[in-house]
Amino acid sequence: MSFQAPKGTFDWMPPRSERVLAVRDALSAPARRAGYGYIETPAFEDTGLFSRGVGESTDIVTKEMYTFVDKGGRSITLRPEGTASVVRAVLEHGLPGGPLPVKLWYSGSYYRYERAQKGRYRHFSQVGAEAIGTEDPAVDAELIVLAVDGYAALGLTGVRLLLNSLGCAECRPAYRAALQDFLRGLDLDEQTRQRIEINPLRVLDDKRPEVQAQLAGAPLVTDHLCGACKAYHEEVRTLLTAAGVTYTDDPRLVRGLDYYTRTTFEFLHDGLGSQSAVGGGGRYDGLSEMIGGPPLPSVGWALGVDRTVLAMEAEGLFDAQPATVDVFAVPLGEEARRAVFGLVVALRRAGLSADMAFGGRGVKGAMKAADRSGARFALILGDRDLAAGAVQVKDLTTAEQTAVPIAEVADVLKGKLS
Ligand code: HAM
């Protein structure tokens, strides 16, 4: 019997998996430099956290959650996103009593039972950052700049930023009502009609051409913002422009999660086909209260690691075959094997990346393994070398070979590699 990864999931395998590490590192580095601390939360939570936090009427909650009853009879859900968990942890640890905002970043696996296609998986990875407990347009702008800088550090040039404001508890109800009035007059199927009553903003995000065609005259949220939301949004835009960030105002941008208020944004890449969002986020001033906490105005984002790798591949930003180690050692004979093992351990402890031929292959097989490893240098050790206290250092790019005393090999290699 053989198994395959479940539908909608896949394995990141070397050498391509190195790209995942590089992307995670680069996307989180700007946040780390800006004082965001690392948070790790469980991969599963009480189901209620997501149904209340993400929103009962969202696709995520109604269709996409991996929910099960555990052996203790609790309803548990594999996290479909990170923000609700982070806010839950901040409340649970009493952090709102301390200095605000609480700035946190995270990285991990998320689970959504989505229709699988390129760029849309049932298990995927995000890097996220959240600034919790402060209402200040500078925090919104800070987070957007951090994401922009993360993509730029990876060399990506094709990421576009869409920006919108969804208003607040003051002005959203009037907009919602105006939108519902408009939508009720359209020719829509029964399911969409139900959506108008529950979550009308999501109808704007309907991708079907026959729906989009009817939405041309829909009221725009930006025309319904209250004075405070307008001023707040204007300040975010001013700060972004001052920081050299290019963005497109998109009054139709709605997000797939219900907790958003005011600033919302999405990063798109055109090299990915239909799943073009490489990241997204926004302000969620009401989320804490939705899950039983005090008012805690907050903002954050999550960037898709898998899709960012795809975007980089679309831009041709990776080397074809990244080297895995600098040095690959080949023993010729049993006694040499023991010496090579010790030498490789010593080289690693000296800070070099080194591997060796395992499994008692012949010289030919071992040299092939050295070539395949992508290493710059091969170390070849036979009985005669061993008697002379030396090892052959072969430059695998030039095929040049020299004997180096074993005691000096770490320093010699470090010199050659620097
Ligand atoms: P989201 O827009 O649902 O937001 O996800 C953020 C990013 O995760 C997306 O832009 C995409 O790159 C990636 N992503 C989402 N679903 C999938 C999937 N099925 N397969 C591959 N990649 C995917 C959130 O999750 C919010 N928690 C963001 C946030 C943080 N808002 C405020 N703070």
Please report the atom of ligand 1 found closest to the CA of residue 112: 19
Please report the pLDDT score of residue 363 as a whole number: 84
Please confirm whether the linkage preceding 200 is cis (ω < 30° from 0). no
State mean pLDDT over 342-350: 97
Is the confidence at residue 228, as pLDDT, over 90?
Answer: yes
Please report the atom of ligand 1 found closest to the CA of residue 128: 30
Q: Which residue, judged by its Cα, is nearest atom 21 of ligand 1?
A: 120
301 alpha carbon – ligand 1 mean position (Å): 8
113 alpha carbon – ligand 1 mean position (Å): 13
- Compare 274 and 360 and report the one with higher pLDDT: 274
Is the confidence at residue 122, as pLDDT, over 90?
Answer: yes
Angle between helices 137-153 and 17-33 (to 10 degrees): 150
Give 239-271 pLDDT, tens digit per residue.
999 999 999 999 999 988 889 999 999 999 999
Give 375-413 pLDDT, tens digit per residue.
999 999 998 999 999 999 999 999 999 999 999 999 999
Please report the pLDDT score of residue 135 as a whole number: 98
Domains and CATH numbers, the chain: 16-171+225-314 (3.30.930.10), 327-417 (3.40.50.800)
Please report the pLDDT score of residue 1 as a whole number: 72
Hunting for tokens 């700060």 — which residue is that?
239
Tokens representing 87 are 């806010």
Please report the pLDDT score of residue 373 as a whole number: 87
Give 30-57 pLDDT, tens digit per residue.
999 999 999 999 999 999 999 999 988 8
E strand residue ranges, 70-207: 75-78, 102-111, 123-132, 159-165
Q: What is the per-residue DSSP string for 281-342?
A: EEE-TTHHHHTT-----EEEEEEEHHHHHHHHHHTT-S-SS--S-SEEEEE-SHHHHHHHHH
- Angle (CA) 148-149-152 rounded to 5° is 90
Q: Is the CB of 144 under 6 A from ligand 1?
A: no
Hunting for tokens 């009035």 — which residue is that?
181
Please report the pLDDT score of residue 57 as a whole number: 83
Is the confidence at residue 361, as pLDDT, over 80?
Answer: no
State mean pLDDT over 315-336: 86
Please report the atom of ligand 1 found closest to the CA of residue 82: 27
Please report the pLDDT score of residue 206 as a whole number: 87
Is the confidence at residue 176, as pLDDT, over 90?
Answer: yes
Contact 129, 31 (CB under 8 A): yes
State mean pLDDT over 329-358: 95
Q: Which residue, judged by its Cα, is nearest atom 15 of ligand 1?
A: 304
State pTM to two decimals.
0.93
Is the confidence at residue 165, as pLDDT, over 90?
Answer: yes
Give 281-297 pLDDT, tens digit per residue.
999 999 999 999 999 99
Measured in degrees and rounded to the nearest 5, phi and psi for residue 49 equal: -60, -45
Confidence label for 362 from pLDDT (cuts 50, 70 and 90): confident
82 is in an annotated binding site: yes
